[in-house]
Structure 1
Amino acid sequence: MQDGHSFIAARPAPVQAPSLDQLFSRTAARRPEAQALVDPADKERVTGQPPRRLSYAEADVAVARLAAYFVEVGLPSGAIVAVQLPNTVEAVVTILAAMRAGLSVALLPQLWRQAELSDAINRIRARALVTMSRIDGVDHADLAMNAAAEAFSVRQVFSFGDNTPEGSVPLDYITFDEDRTPHLPDRGAERTSLITFDVLPDGLRAVPRTQAQVIAGGLAVMLDADIPAGTRIMSATMPSSFAGICASMVTWLLSGGRLALHHPFETDVLLSQIAHDRCALLVAPAPLALRLGETGAFADLPQLNQVIGLWRAPEQAATSSSWTYARSFIDLYAFGEAGLFAVPRDGEGTPAPVAPGARPLQGQGSAGVACEVFISDHGTVGMRGAMVPLAAYAAQRSSDLLLTRDKPDHVDTGYAARLDRRNGAICITAPPSGVLNVGGYRFLTNDLNTWAQRLPQGGMLTALPDRISGHRLAGRASDNARARAALAQLGLNPLMVEAFRERS
């Protein structure tokens, strides 16, 4: 790792614990003809590729082909594959294929550009990078090639889609069209890990988890939300975070149902997808779901029984609007990449109190606690339990979020909180100091100031509070077009670049 950080690998999962791929394979063997994965209806607009609908048998073949190819090109067992893909079938197939091939998977946010991609890839020493040729009009294959050129560890760049650049290996034919189903020897898929990225006061941090920890997160969502087996799920959350993966892909694997994907956000497309696929559960950012509820958008969707609203700014949940529909709404609180928990709303549609203490996995003893939530000695939300990756945060300095001990027993999330004297519930009052959250993408305040200094004289870049996304970026320059071009050339993500868009 660079910048004085050492990468702490996740401990191997117990041999008897199922892997994500084993959960998938069991359903594929039991229900091969059932539909498993459904692409966004507007996928052609997003990626230029027609949407796919895969049965479990078809998805299993695609996973097997891609896994075998990863082995054939020389990726060793335990190597890390970085994945930057949209919310499409390719993302799910790639994650399962990499794990079946004995590889660990690092999830990269879609809005990351060259500067952030290069930093993250160098930190984890990824051996390969998988992306899509174009996403929402952006040439991601070219971004991947440029980022890989700055990372000594990367040996291969793979890309789905058309018109892949020279040096990038196209994957569509290998995964979906090749006329073979190869045999792949067991490479210990249960020992691989899933890596996401968090932003802490000391900067970007890779957060590896064993598959057992990932499954514990998915179980927490499934059990707290009381999701029945075989549920048809519509996911409008990006596959680039622990909360996004647990609420969509892992709950799908655990329930053995159907996972329909929506690439955020085209409201009309989302609603038509839910109706067409008769989805019973919607997973979406909580502010978006509540706003759709207020407009009556769900009135003509009788099959929709549950909505899981993901709060990436959990301090905003308590003051959110009420849910007025008879169908249930579950608040899913995500604390960066440290952990999550779900709480169904009360009978009046308002957020239920968050009680401190353990949240056990159903049918297990004290060793099966998905997570325990409490207020730390610093007056912040602390978490521990089966899903919480203590090792990933153990290297933090004493001034950082973790309560410093030789053997830490919890992660301090940094979210300020207090106990309600009336009911003893945890009230989350503020986000971590020095960290900005823009729609799920976290920045350091200092980094924002550093980039602002690159602007011409008189230029300004700042973060403003926003009720929907936590914060929003706003910029001002004498020549906005020139400022946008300069920031894009530096490899910054579009949240910063578009802060200088022209306003009427």
Structure 2
Amino acid sequence: MRPSPPERVAEYRRRGWWRGQTIDALFRAAVAVRADAEALVDAPNRQALAGTPPQRLTYAELDRRVDALCHVLAGLGVGRGDVVATQLPNLVEGVVAFLACARMGAILSPVAMAYRGHELRQILPSVEPKAYITVGEFHGCDHAAMLVELKAEGVTAAEIVSLGAAPPAGAMALDVLMAEAPAAPFDTPADLDAAEALTICWTSGTEAMPKGVPRHHDHWVVNGEALVEAAGLQVGDTILNPFPLINIAAIGGMVMTWLLAQGRLVQHHPFDLPIFLGQMQDEGVAYTVAPPAVLNMLLQNEALLDGTDLSKLRCLGSGSAPLSPWMVKGWQERHGVTVMNVFGSNEGTSLFSTGEAIPDPELRARYFPRFGAQGVNWPAAFPAKIRTRLVDVDSGEEITEPGREGELRIAGAMTFDGYWKAPEITAQAFDDDGYFRTGDLFEIAPDGGGRYYRFVGRCKEIIIRGGLNISPAELDVLIEGHPKVREASCAAYPDERLGERVCAVVALRPGESLTLEELNAHLKAHDIATFKLPERLRIVDALPRNALGKVLRRELSGVVAA
């Protein structure tokens, strides 16, 4: 499967935007020159996550591990173009699975650990994975047992492989399969092309169904190149990854940067501040990411950093919520660390407020460079591979003057080509000129000489909780299935740590009452991911609607905040 039209592939390679180089070729090149260097490191709490000790692998050891998993997957019937699904915490196995799929020409489809049967019943029939790699008990859910049940329902025919020594009946132990795998190299198909699909990641928008985002090798390489340049990474740098390996933030922002820098990737999961700070010091981390609230807290409580050696740390990425100018300035002045403001999405929205593009830390917190805007040039290489513009939501007119908000639209080398098996949604996602409609509102900043964007808000009705997208439409439908509910609509309310949380606004049937606990018990019975559960409930007489009967979700903000 090739996500990009051949003419786009040819044009972007002619321009030098895409290399035409596979991920496996990049990995083999790193192995050739860094064989004995440490490549991949587990978090120190792996024992609690997977029941086995933390692992530290050199490039040569990782290469052999990738070969072994290729043999295992091939033995399970996985071939070129077949899908391998994973549902894993941040363990070395997630990276091994990504590299194994790249080596054998398979397609990796990673799903969030929080996904349950509700989401998996939508995803798995769509991608039809040949194999599913997961763990057992994790945060109150036995994932391997859940998959066995789904397989018995006919949701999937995948061979189920589980980490740990005692998988449930119907699943196989990955450690046993790896130990029995041939100790021989696995040959990549000689004609494997970098335009062949490598991943299908999942995202949520205004639609109730999760949407698959296919990407090929060229997509991933250019995304990694952008972050290497933006973060100023050097050969051999250590990168600390707190993101689950399920989307562009982790794969493009962490795994690909590690691979291109031929450095060391240190895994972290779930977010635990003492462990995170310990890893930053003990592993000599040069680049990592953290939520704005965490970076704020560390500056406000310097005692938390007492005794922590951050001398190797050069850059911190942050985003998903507005950054405080005092925080960005504080990290730069007190610790010599550049905080890079990041705005991105699975579909390829890529704006990075780097220290080079915006040296002033307070401006960097508030603005994003107008990468790819006509007539605005930047010294770095990757902005030339991006195209952006602002469009008036009502008139469709392109906005070129400061102070007027419009939807950010983006095209270029980092942007995806369309959703998985969803031609109608794909058609709506792009405008007539091929720009992706991000659903995010920006304005050209009045100061800065027209070189900066300022984020205003969203015109798409998604809720972003801790970096994870939640479709309010999906929740609305499920909540309206409650026997006490007449109508419902979910909206976001701000949260300092997670950016946003979910509030359910509900109109009840006559004579009924409802608690948040009752509502969430109803939703849990539908087996939805726990991060989607509302954390606030507001009861109203009726939902605000326009003349056509559509719920005015923006007008719910006052109700939610009450």
Q: Is the CA contact (8 Å cut-off) linking 1:98 and 1:105 kept in structure 2?
A: yes
Count of aligned positions = 487
Asked if 1:488 is matched to 2:524, the reply is yes
Among 488, 491, 499, which residue is 1:470 paired with?
499
How far did 1:497 drift? 4.5
Aligned pairs (5 A) from 1:73-152 = 73-149=76-152
Q: Is the CA contact (8 Å cut-off) linking 1:290 and 1:323 kept in structure 2?
A: no
Sort the Cα spacing of 1:376 and 1:172 in 2 relative to 1 into closer, same or farther, 3 A: farther
- 3-state DSSP class of the match of 1:468? coil
Aligned pairs (5 A) from 1:177-326 = 177-178=179-180, 180-187=182-189, 188=192, 190=194, 191-203=196-208, 204-296=210-302, 297-298=304-305, 300-313=308-321, 316-317=322-323, 321-325=327-331, 326=336
Root-mean-square deviation (Å): 3.2
Asked if 1:436 is matched to 2:439, the reply is no
How far did 1:419 drift? 1.4
- 3-state DSSP class of the match of 2:344? strand
Among 2, 24, 29, which residue is 1:26 paired with?
29
Sort the Cα spacing of 1:323 and 1:159 in 2 relative to 1 into closer, same or farther, 3 A: farther
Aligned pairs (5 A) from 1:395-410 = 395-396=423-424, 400-403=428-431, 405=432, 408-410=433-435
Structure 2, unmatched stretches of 5+, are: 394-405, 507-512, 538-562
Q: Which amino acid aligns with 1:195?
A: I
Alignment partner, residue 330 of structure 1: 340
- 3-state DSSP class of the match of 1:109? coil
What's the TM-score, normalizing by structure 1?
0.87
Partner Cα separation in structure 1 for residue 363 and residue 164 of structure 2: 42
Structure 1, unmatched stretches of 5+, are: 1-6
Among 450, 472, 481, which residue is 1:445 paired with?
472
Deviations 1:67-123 (A, max 9, x none): 111112221210111221111111101111122121011121221111112211222
Alignment partner, residue 454 of structure 2: 427
How far did 1:395 drift? 3.1
Partner Cα separation in structure 1 for residue 528 and residue 476 of structure 2: 14
Partner Cα separation in structure 2 for residue 437 and residue 339 of structure 1: 15
Alignment partner, residue 38 of structure 1: 41
Alignment partner, residue 4 of structure 1: none
Among 438, 447, 451, which residue is 1:413 paired with?
438
- 3-state DSSP class of the match of 2:423? coil
Higher mean alpha-carbon deviation, 204-213 vs 337-346, is at: 337-346
How far did 1:398 drift? 9.4
Q: Which amino acid aligns with 1:63?
A: V
Higher alpha-carbon Rg: 2
- 3-state DSSP class of the match of 1:322? helix
Partner Cα separation in structure 2 for residue 285 and residue 306 of structure 1: 17
What's the TM-score, normalizing by structure 2?
0.78
Partner Cα separation in structure 2 for residue 151 and residue 470 of structure 1: 38
Among 348, 361, 364, which residue is 1:349 paired with?
361
